[in-house]
Structure 1
Amino acid sequence: MRSTRRKPKFRRSLGGAALAAVMGLTSVAAMGSPASAAPTGKADSPACSSSSVDLDSGTSRAPQNLCVPAQATDSNKTLLVWNKPDIYDDVVDYRVYMDGRAVGTAEENARIFSPAQEYVDAFRDADKDDFHVRTVAHNYTVTGLSPRTSYQFTVTAIRADGSESPASAPITVSTTPERHQVTITSPAFKAVGDGKALNTASIQKAIDTCRTPGCTVVVPAGTFKTGALFLHSDMTLELQEGARLLGSDHAEDYPLDKGYYLYPVPDPLPTEAEYRNYRRPPSLINVLPEDNGRSAQGREPGAAANNVRIVGKGVVDGNGWERTAEGSVMDEAGNEIPQYVASSAGKVLDDGVLAADQFRKAKENPKALTGIINRPETLDDSVLYGQYRSSLMTFMGVKNLYVEGVTADNPAFHGVMILDTENSTVNGMRHTTYNANNGDGLEFGGATNGIVLNNFFDTGDDQVNFAAGQGKYGAMGRPSENVWIFNNYMRMGHGGVAVGSNTAAWVQRVLAEDNVMYKVETGGLRMKSTSDMAGGGRDFLFRDTAMACMGSSAFIMTLSYNQSPSGYIAAESATFKDVKVRNVSVDGNNSPTCGMAVSDSKPVIDIQAGPSLGEGTATLSAFTFQDVVFRNVNPTNIKGLTNSTFDDVTFQSVRNNANPWRLDQYSTGNTFTDVTPAPAQ
């Protein structure tokens, strides 16, 4: 909630009726039944990770669309999430009721179960003058439940005066039976947690043996060194507290024949000589199609696996890079977090661990790099570096994926890759990959219906990134769509919520709300593509977000991104449109001390589009910035933005007291209402 001295004009949320229809939510008729009995004729509410982002407005003051993400319910716990009321200006918390009895509030619960919340609290404590938007938790982890039991839940919104809203529609949730477990250190598997023995075969045997539906593979405390592991349907991988899966530092432990194509290979094969597609090595943890993701059919959601879970307080360590000389830093919440060397293709042999071994062996024996579609005569170092490092986790062709609690640490390449999936949830992870080169937190590619909540991000690249194919053939693929990102803390890294540069099949219908961003380096909302990539991004709502000490621009929307050659076939220009930014506070950009911006080199809003970038380059349109406040920032730099709206946008302080509005001649049809200061005439 914004301070009362700056009340927003109105609020919009996901439309209740419209979203409920999309999600298929089923409400029970009444509360108060015994915990063991659901109302006659009423099934459990379906999982809500099929949520779409519908931007219709409404007038309800009750929480909307109470639901449970796919695979989030276990034998003794569940996760409730809900959309905020349509009108929520005065909402400061939410109260959860189970079988008619109050069990707690969302903010209290977040302090127990969300690794993001202690950082949010520290951020609030540092906001001495109440400048920032106040984010509010709207999820709840329920524990202490009994197996095979049904419970009914409602949620109310708590207003600033202490009163409560009407209750949400009720839902019924049934816990699972107790899950069969196999432990990797048992005599049947004999894994050794000394950090030295290679346990790939032992752990994979445990995974392959765990075939009872719902079966759990348990990794106990200890450091278990392993190569690539492959999960399957209807299983859970549980990393208990103190457990660490440590990636092998040898390239051969990630066999290329078990790897994957980032994008499917078109059929028939493209005739253009410049088309390329590379089979990448597998990640440390994988779910992959049998054909390596070569065909579009093989990577349809559910084609590779259904109902896959990774849970626990343990660590997945990719062993990708060396630490810096300091090794770690103390963060703003008083925790020690790792720091990895910022490297590149030219320095990987000095800075890398697994990254160095994979690059070195690819360079020494390029003939062993099988699976290249339309192989070039030579493989440049940039290709070897960009295609032959392992990410930390890759999930492709999965329906119903749930990841909770684990720490993602030190990947050789990307962090968690969610590709061509449906119904995926990432809850309460710690992503500690800073400053590993290309060390994204999460990447959604061709994925639909995702939820990202309660995560702590400290990444070497974008925190949450979206991709959707490249150029002519990428435009024939699956869009990335219907993703809900909320109650996360994002620090350092590149973009907070990032789109592109691969945008050909569109990134669309994304709701990012109630997140805190601190020292993010390259855009809290970062949308990047090129004039020949195709597609773009559309239907975004980015709201109720606090941003401080931004390393460069707070908002970036560009069609001039420097795309490295990667074998795609050019198409028409990408574009970004129908993007709404609402109720956002930004304190500082381009300042190493978190004060006033130190130079004009990084505009606080940086929009690069339109003819000024080159003949025929597309403009961007239908942007809305509403109820946004800035201080200690640079002026904007807006090129090629048309038919957009700025309403109740305030610049409290700008470097050198400059007018913040700098628009080029191709930025036309834009309106400015209640803007302080107004654009110069």
Structure 2
Amino acid sequence: MQVARTPRKPNHRLAGAAATVLIGLTSLTAIAAPSSAAPPGSQDSPACSSSSTRLEAGTAQAPQNLCVPAAATDDTSTLLVWNKPDVYGDVVDYRVYQNGAPIGTAEENARQFSPAQEYVDAFRARDTDGFHAKTVAHNFTVTGLSPRTKHTFSVTGIRADGSETPASGTITVTTTPKRHTNVVTAPAYKAKGDGTTLDTAAIQKAIDTCRTPGCTVVVPQGTFRTGALFLHSNMTVELQEGARLLGSDQPEDYPLEKGYYLYPVPEPLPTEAEYRNYLRPPSLLNVLPGDNGRSKEGREPGAVASNVRITGKGVVDGNGWKRTSTGTVTDEAGNELPQYVASSAGKVLEDGLLAANQFRNAKANPDALTGIVNRPDTFEDSVLYGQYRSSLMTFMGVDNLYLEGVTADNPAFHGVMIVDSENTTVNGMRHTTYNTNNGDGLEFGGTSNGIVLNNFFDTGDDQVNFAAGQGKYGAQGRPSEDVWIFNNYMRMGHGGIAVGSNTAAWVQRVLAEDNVMYKVETGGLRMKSTSDMAGGGRNFLFRDTAMACMGSSAFIMTLSYNQSPSGYVAADSATFKDVVVRNVSVDGNNSPSCGMAVSDSKPVIDIQAGPALGEGTATLSNFTFQDVVFRNVNPANIKGLTNSVFDGVTFQSVRNNANPWRFDQYSTGNSFADVSPAPAALPAG
């Protein structure tokens, strides 16, 4: 390990300066340049692509890659997103121009359309000493448009002194024709919405007859009790304000024969005795292959459906678990949030609703559990619990998926699962699943070109999680890649941005920026796998993020995750590499003022890899922590980290005034510049 002897002056939070956005490059000083008009020419309705996450080095001062997420434009509105300039340290907002005239700024727009923004504003108001990294909105919802009309748009950055940057390129967006609607309470469908009548057949009929391209199924105000519903191409489900899809709590309303395999079944069938694959029950809302996702070819993006949209201000309620005795909690913005009982396989019959009934049914009727590949002789409770609960939404094999505005509430298992899909956007949702067991907000599996923005998360598990298959056969699957996560507020839950534990086909090229994390319990950036899982995570840029009141560690990268039994065939060790953490503030790890337990046992940076964990366990390499500031935290504990850089890292206060740097003997080739306090003699063991 090398320690720089002549450190430069720290540039924490990049105040008044900026960095390039290419992973692995050092920061550049802002270069003054006059504002200029948008470049000549335009691009018509440009869909966002992987260029937004595969950022290149440069010194551009104009906003970059202005685009429209797939399926985000309808007959009256559109969504604009863009990358920040290469040089952006003094940019405090963005101004949007429509047909050459200004129509507002991104921060103002976020206060109107993003459920995350009131929490971000409250967080900023509490940051009275300016400790935290500053986040900036860089998206804009345009409303009030007319069907079949064209509009041009461009964006400029607004600097702290009020001047504007050069403009982005100009794009042209054309709205869709006016949509045909099927209202589920109409006489043709007869859904009741009284909270008691089972409306599955009525709503499914409205979906099945919604075949005009762009057709919209409208769910009006009311509580519509329903079982599993199945969507198709070229349609929208609009949940109007006051509408609630309430999941039935009866297992028969989620028929197993209409369910799905989380991962395809390899051909030829694996011969290893430990290989298993389970047919899971469908979710409340579904897009699924006709063969249940058994074949790899049948679940390629677009093979099942294209252009699927779910929008509105209504609620999708999985009816999975009972509330706690108090039922709600008042959060830091003064709003009430639902609180569900924290449970487990051993307590589900006491705590669950749909979760309890599905577990009980699976345990009582093992012969009805069809579709199992390499069926075991007996079923452990942990297997039944892990395979036979319904998630809230599952989308498999979709090209162009757009989710906007709805609340995802109380799933029996996971929240929103997006599997083997492409060109997906999740915008402005509320994920209120705390503390439902395994209640992730979003899960991406084998999915590419995803955008996650403006969401409010209060989850019972990871907020945004990535998976990519298990072990030997999972390594043959699709990677999860090119996902852009920004302008979200992440509360409670486990990992904020989480990878694994299923990593076999790699999770790669993820850009997470301008997010606020508060009371996240287990790692703002959490990367977890095992020594026999294969693959891992690589090419991550995690930047411009404020983190406070963390429940345990701020950064977790481990290859010793306790993997529950799942029937995969072992392979080589997973690893994590080429990860950049830049311009991040962390305050209050294990702070009693945040309601978390005080403990010395949770290191603020917790890296567990390398030979110290066992033979064959890989090390992690090529990490960069740059311009990161910590206070009120525990020391780091780093095992098996190699060839990495700590540049401009400051620990303002560490519990018990301990030296924050702890490395094992397998952490070699690391360098330090401008760190405070400086490491002691290294390695420290």
Bucket of the pairwise TM-score, normalised by the shorter protein: over 0.9
C-alpha displacement at 1:9, in angstroms? 6.6
Q: Could you say if the C-alpha distance between residues 573 and 9 of structure 1 is closer, same or farther in structure 2, counting changes exceeding 3 Å?
A: farther
C-alpha displacement at 1:598, in angstroms? 3.0
Q: Secondary structure at the match of 2:621?
A: strand
Aligned length: 659
Q: What letter matches 1:478 in structure 2? A: R
The residue aligned with 2:653 is 653
Are the counterparts in 1 of residues 46 and 171 from structure 2 also a CA contact under 8 Å? no
Q: Secondary structure at the match of 1:589?
A: coil
C-alpha displacement at 1:44, in angstroms? 1.5
Q: What letter matches 1:593 in structure 2? A: S
Q: Deviations over 1:553-580 (max 9, x none)?
A: 0000000000011100000000000000
Unmatched segments (≥5 aa) in structure 1:
16-28, 33-38
Are the counterparts in 1 of residues 504 and 535 from structure 2 also a CA contact under 8 Å? yes
Q: What letter matches 1:461 in structure 2? A: D
Are the counterparts in 2 of residues 50 and 423 from structure 1 also a CA contact under 8 Å? no
Equivalent-residue separation in structure 2 for 1:129 and 1:140 (angstroms): 29
The residue aligned with 2:19 is 11
Q: Could you say if the C-alpha distance between residues 214 and 517 of structure 1 is closer, same or farther in structure 2, counting changes exceeding 3 Å?
A: same
- Counterpart mapping for 1:495-644 below 5 A: 495-594=495-594, 598-644=598-644
The reply to whether residue 80 of structure 1 matches residue 80 of structure 2 is yes
Q: What letter matches 1:525 in structure 2? A: L
Equivalent-residue separation in structure 2 for 1:509 and 1:546 (angstroms): 21
The residue aligned with 2:489 is 489
The reply to whether residue 203 of structure 1 matches residue 203 of structure 2 is yes
Equivalent-residue separation in structure 2 for 1:596 and 1:378 (angstroms): 40
- Counterpart mapping for 1:120-135 below 5 A: 120-135=120-135
Q: Secondary structure at the match of 1:472?
A: helix
C-alpha displacement at 1:30, in angstroms? 6.9
Q: What letter matches 2:153 in structure 1? A: F
- Counterpart mapping for 1:367-378 below 5 A: 367-378=367-378
- Counterpart mapping for 1:176-215 below 5 A: 176-215=176-215
Q: Deviations over 1:345-389 (max 9, x none)?
A: 000000000000000000000000100000010111000000000
Equivalent-residue separation in structure 2 for 1:219 and 1:594 (angstroms): 39
Q: Could you say if the C-alpha distance between residues 367 and 4 of structure 1 is closer, same or farther in structure 2, counting changes exceeding 3 Å?
A: closer
Are the counterparts in 1 of residues 355 and 412 from structure 2 also a CA contact under 8 Å? yes
The residue aligned with 1:221 is 221
Q: Deviations over 1:124-159 (max 9, x none)?
A: 001111100110000000011111000000000000
Equivalent-residue separation in structure 1 for 2:20 and 2:344 (angstroms): 43
Equivalent-residue separation in structure 1 for 2:536 and 2:525 (angstroms): 14
Q: Could you say if the C-alpha distance between residues 429 and 167 of structure 1 is closer, same or farther in structure 2, counting changes exceeding 3 Å?
A: same
Equivalent-residue separation in structure 2 for 1:348 and 1:48 (angstroms): 42
Are the counterparts in 2 of residues 396 and 420 from structure 1 also a CA contact under 8 Å? yes
C-alpha displacement at 1:588, in angstroms? 1.3
The reply to whether residue 235 of structure 1 matches residue 235 of structure 2 is yes
C-alpha displacement at 1:13, in angstroms? 2.2
The reply to whether residue 286 of structure 1 matches residue 294 of structure 2 is no
C-alpha displacement at 1:47, in angstroms? 1.0
Q: Could you say if the C-alpha distance between residues 596 and 627 of structure 1 is closer, same or farther in structure 2, counting changes exceeding 3 Å?
A: farther
Q: Deviations over 1:21-70 (max 9, x none)?
A: xxxxxxxx9789xxxxxx7xx76133105445224321001000000000
Q: Deviations over 1:520-564 (max 9, x none)?
A: 000000000000000000000000000000000000000000001
C-alpha displacement at 1:591, in angstroms? 2.7
Are the counterparts in 1 of residues 265 and 295 from structure 2 also a CA contact under 8 Å? yes
The residue aligned with 1:18 is none
Q: What letter matches 1:494 in structure 2? A: H
The residue aligned with 2:47 is 47
Deviates more, 1:50-59 or 1:192-201: 50-59
C-alpha displacement at 1:659, in angstroms? 0.6
Equivalent-residue separation in structure 1 for 2:116 and 2:370 (angstroms): 42
Q: What letter matches 1:452 in structure 2? A: V
Q: Deviations over 1:187-244 (max 9, x none)?
A: 0000001100000000000000000000000000000000000000000000000000
Are the counterparts in 2 of residues 397 and 419 from structure 1 also a CA contact under 8 Å? yes
C-alpha displacement at 1:278, in angstroms? 0.2
Q: Secondary structure at the match of 2:588?
A: strand
Are the counterparts in 2 of residues 69 and 425 from structure 1 also a CA contact under 8 Å? yes
Q: Secondary structure at the match of 1:450?
A: strand
The residue aligned with 2:432 is 432
| CA-based RMSD | 1.6
The residue aligned with 2:451 is 451
Equivalent-residue separation in structure 2 for 1:142 and 1:164 (angstroms): 21
Equivalent-residue separation in structure 2 for 1:594 and 1:641 (angstroms): 31
Equivalent-residue separation in structure 2 for 1:534 and 1:249 (angstroms): 38
The residue aligned with 1:405 is 405
C-alpha displacement at 1:597, in angstroms? 8.3
Equivalent-residue separation in structure 2 for 1:591 and 1:561 (angstroms): 25
Q: Deviations over 1:255-279 (max 9, x none)?
A: 0000000000000000001100000
The residue aligned with 2:249 is 249
Are the counterparts in 1 of residues 223 and 244 from structure 2 also a CA contact under 8 Å? yes
Equivalent-residue separation in structure 2 for 1:356 and 1:675 (angstroms): 51
Are the counterparts in 2 of residues 634 and 654 from structure 1 also a CA contact under 8 Å? yes
Q: What letter matches 2:141 in structure 1? A: T
The reply to whether residue 321 of structure 1 matches residue 321 of structure 2 is yes
Equivalent-residue separation in structure 2 for 1:254 and 1:334 (angstroms): 37
Equivalent-residue separation in structure 1 for 2:550 and 2:12 (angstroms): 25
Q: Deviations over 1:435-482 (max 9, x none)?
A: 000000000000000000000000000000000000000000000000
C-alpha displacement at 1:596, in angstroms? 10
Equivalent-residue separation in structure 2 for 1:46 and 1:598 (angstroms): 50
Q: What letter matches 1:638 in structure 2? A: I
Equivalent-residue separation in structure 2 for 1:3 and 1:146 (angstroms): 47
Q: Secondary structure at the match of 1:556?
A: strand
Question: What is the TM-score normalised by the length of structure 1?
Answer: 0.95
Q: Deviations over 1:97-149 (max 9, x none)?
A: 00100000000000000000000000000111110011000000001111100
Q: Could you say if the C-alpha distance between residues 148 and 319 of structure 1 is closer, same or farther in structure 2, counting changes exceeding 3 Å?
A: same
- Counterpart mapping for 1:54-65 below 5 A: 54-65=54-65
Q: Secondary structure at the match of 1:593?
A: helix
The reply to whether residue 144 of structure 1 matches residue 139 of structure 2 is no
Q: Could you say if the C-alpha distance between residues 367 and 103 of structure 1 is closer, same or farther in structure 2, counting changes exceeding 3 Å?
A: same
C-alpha displacement at 1:673, in angstroms? 0.1
Are the counterparts in 1 of residues 575 and 620 from structure 2 also a CA contact under 8 Å? yes
The residue aligned with 2:98 is 98
Q: Return the structure number with greater relative CO, CA threshold 8 A, min gap 6.
A: 2
C-alpha displacement at 1:12, in angstroms? 1.9
Are the counterparts in 1 of residues 504 and 536 from structure 2 also a CA contact under 8 Å? yes
The residue aligned with 2:3 is none
Deviates more, 1:48-57 or 1:297-306: 48-57
Equivalent-residue separation in structure 1 for 2:18 and 2:162 (angstroms): 21
Q: Percent identity?
A: 82
Deviates more, 1:3-12 or 1:124-133: 3-12
The residue aligned with 1:21 is none
Equivalent-residue separation in structure 1 for 2:544 and 2:243 (angstroms): 36
Are the counterparts in 1 of residues 321 and 412 from structure 2 also a CA contact under 8 Å? yes
Equivalent-residue separation in structure 1 for 2:601 and 2:287 (angstroms): 43
The reply to whether residue 277 of structure 1 matches residue 277 of structure 2 is yes
Are the counterparts in 2 of residues 349 and 360 from structure 1 also a CA contact under 8 Å? yes
Equivalent-residue separation in structure 1 for 2:400 and 2:49 (angstroms): 8
Equivalent-residue separation in structure 1 for 2:456 and 2:18 (angstroms): 30
Question: What is the TM-score normalised by the length of structure 2?
Answer: 0.94
Are the counterparts in 1 of residues 523 and 556 from structure 2 also a CA contact under 8 Å? yes
Q: What letter matches 1:175 in structure 2? A: T
C-alpha displacement at 1:14, in angstroms? 5.7
Equivalent-residue separation in structure 1 for 2:623 and 2:322 (angstroms): 42
Are the counterparts in 2 of residues 588 and 596 from structure 1 also a CA contact under 8 Å? no
Equivalent-residue separation in structure 1 for 2:512 and 2:245 (angstroms): 31
Q: Secondary structure at the match of 1:357?
A: helix
Are the counterparts in 1 of residues 12 and 648 from structure 2 also a CA contact under 8 Å? no
Equivalent-residue separation in structure 2 for 1:306 and 1:290 (angstroms): 15
The reply to whether residue 119 of structure 1 matches residue 119 of structure 2 is yes
